[in-house]
Amino acid sequence: MRKKNLAILLTAALTAAAITGCGGSSDSPAAPAKEDTQAAEDAGGDETGEETDTTAEDASVQESQAEETSDGDGVIIKFGAWGSDHDNAAFLEMAEGVADAVPGVKGVELVTYASTSDFWNNLPSQVAAGTAPDLVLPTNENVFEYIDGGLYQPFDESLIDLSNIDESAINVWTVDGQLYGIPIDAQPTCLLLNVDLFKELGYTEADYPKTWDDVRKISEAVSDPENNFYGMCINVTSLFHVTQILQGFGGDWGNGASIDSPENEAAIQWVIDMFKDGLAVNPAQLGDDWDGTTFATGKALMTTGGVWYYGQMSAAAPDTDYIALPIPYAEEKKHSSSLHSDAIVMLSSCQYPDLAAKTAAYMARNDAQTIRANGTGSIPSNPELAESYYEAHPQFASIKGTESYSVAFGYPAQTSQFETDFVNDLTAVLFDSTNDTPAAEILANLAQNYGTN
C-alpha cells in the first residue's frame, strides 16, 4: 500500500509541477539531473537498477546499491538541490567536515536540478533506478501531502541533537509524533505595510493595524480603485496568502479536518467582502506577476508575506520605508499565523536512514544555518542566531516572538488539487459581480471533497 501511495503522490506532484512553479509559470521539459562525477566514482561507480513489482527484486536492488555505494571507507549521502550556483556552493559549504563529524559517511554529493519541476520530473525514474537523493531541502508549506503519500520518511530522533532548533520549527515538521524534517530556518509570516505611504496618508505608528477590522477600516479610508490604489493586496491565486487571513481569524485547515469551521467561514467572507467593496486587489488584476511587485510599486498599502520581501524591496524599491507587522487577528486570544520553514528531509527511498539522519543534523548545525542565512536572508531556526537576524533587519523586528504561536499551514493531504479547486471557487465569486455565493457554501463544498470528518 505504501508503494501505491508513493506512486500516486509522484503522479500528483508531477501534475502540480507542470501546472505551477514559484512564479506561477510552466517549466520546460526536464533535463537529466546533474551529479558530481568524481563523487559518484568515489562512491563506487555507476548506480543502476530497474523498477520491479516484487518485494524480493526490490530488496535485491537495494542490497546491490548498498554494495556499490559503500567501499569500506564510508558511504556517500546524496543531497538534492535546485537553485543558483551560489545556493549550491552554500550547500557544499554546509556539508564540509561531515566525514569527520559523522562516522560511516565519506561525504555529501550534490545532485542538482534546474528547478523544483525538474526535481519532480526526474524523481520517479531516479527512485526506480536507486539514484534518487537521500536528502532534499523543501519548504513546509505543502509537506503534509508528501508525508501522507509516503514520499518522506521520519527521522529517528534518538540519533540526532535538536537542542539548537526552535521548538516551534520542530513542531511544524512533526506529524503524528514523528519528525519529518530538520529545520534550518524558521520564518514567521507577517503583514507588510508601506510606511512612507502610510505617513503620506496621515497615519502614524500608533495607527499600525493590529486587527483585521483595523485593516478593513484603513482600506476603506485610502482605497482608490479608479487610480489603481488599494488598501490591501491579497494574492488569491495562492493558498498561502488566504491562509494567513484564515489563521488570523483563529481558523485552520486542520489537514482537512476543519475546512468549513466557523472561523474559516468568517475569514473567507472577509476576503470576499474586501474584494466586492473595492478595498483589495489581486496582483494579476493590475498586470503584476506577484504580490511583491504590487507592494513594491506602491499600488497597495498592505499585503501578507514574509522575510523574502527583504530581497524584493532591496531590488525593486530600495528607498521605500516599510515594516513587517504580526499577522492581524480577529480575536486577540484566538489566533495564529504560519511558520514558514525550510528543512532537510529524507526521502523514503534512502537506503542509509541512520547515516542520512546524522548528516542532516550536521548540515543544520549553527554554522550551517549561518551559511544558509547569509546566502538567502532567511531567519535561522536557532533562536540565538535569529536574534542576530532581527538586529540586522530592523524592518522585521516587530515579528520577533510571533513564532511562539505560529503553526503549520495545515493544508489537506490532496494539497495541489485542493488549492486548484479553492482558488477556482473563490475567484469565481470575487471577479463576477453577479456571483454572490457565500463563503459558507464554498467551504462546505470543499469539505465534502477534501474533509477528513
DSSP result, 200-266: HTT--GGG---BHHHHHHHHHHH-BGGGTBEEEE--TTSHHHHHHHHHHTT---GGGTSTT-HHHHH
* 404 falls within a domain: no
Whether residue 16 lies inside any domain: the answer is yes
> How confident is the model at residue 10, as a pLDDT?
55
* pLDDT score at 117: 87
> Same domain for 147 and 212?
no
Can you say whether residue 177 is alpha, beta or left, with left for phi > 0 and alpha for psi between -120 and 50 degrees? left
Give Cα 44 to chain centroid, integer Å: 35
**Among the three residues 394, 423, 439, which one is the final residue of a domain in this structure?**
394
Say if 409 falls within a structural domain.
Answer: no
Q: Which helix (H) or strand (E) holds 368?
A: helix 366-376
User: What cell was used for 304?
Assistant: 501578507
Residue 420: give its domain's CATH number.
Answer: 3.40.190.10
Clarify whether residues 334 and 362 are in a common domain.
no
Domain annotation covers residue 443: yes
Give the domain range for residue 427: 188-339+414-450
Residues 28-64: tens digit of each pLDDT: 222 333 444 333 333 333 333 333 343 334 433 333 3
Could you tell me if 177 and 229 lie in one domain? Answer: no
- Asked whether residue 231 falls in the same domain as residue 366, the answer is no
> Could you report the per-residue pLDDT of 405-446, keeping only the tens digit for each?
999 999 999 999 999 999 999 999 999 999 999 999 999 999
160 domain residue, yes or no = yes
- Residue 400 belongs to some domain of the structure: no
Q: Are residues 107 and 234 in the same domain?
A: no
The reply to whether 405 falls in a domain is no
Length of the chain: 453
Same domain flag for 320 and 269: yes
If DSSP codes are grouped into helix, strand and coil, which group holds residue 320? coil
Residues 60 and 99 in one domain: yes
In a shared domain, residues 102 and 231: no
| Mean of pLDDT values over 309-338 | 95
Q: Round to whole Å and give the CA distance between 417 and 428.
A: 16
Instruction: Decide if 313 contacts 243 (C-beta within 8 A).
Output: no
Residues 253 and 363 in one domain: no
Show the cell assigned to 326: 504580526
In Å, how far are 40, 243, 391 from 134, measured between CA atoms?
14, 31, 36
Are 305 and 349 found together in one domain? no
Taking the model in full, what pTM does it have? 0.85
Q: Is residue 402 included in any domain, yes or no?
A: no
For residue 144 the three cell numbers come to 503534509
CA pseudo-torsion sign 87, 93, 94, 96? positive
Residue 234's nearest CA partner among 285, 199, 187, 200 is 285
Q: Are residues 348 and 291 in the same domain?
A: no
pLDDT digits (tens, 9 = 90+) for 158-216: 999 999 999 999 999 999 999 999 999 999 999 999 999 999 999 999 999 999 999 99
- How many domains does the structure of the chain reveal? 2
Cell matching residue 330: 480577529
In this structure, the answer to whether residues 164 and 272 fall within a common structural domain is no
Q: Are 171 and 114 in contact (CB under 8 A)?
A: no
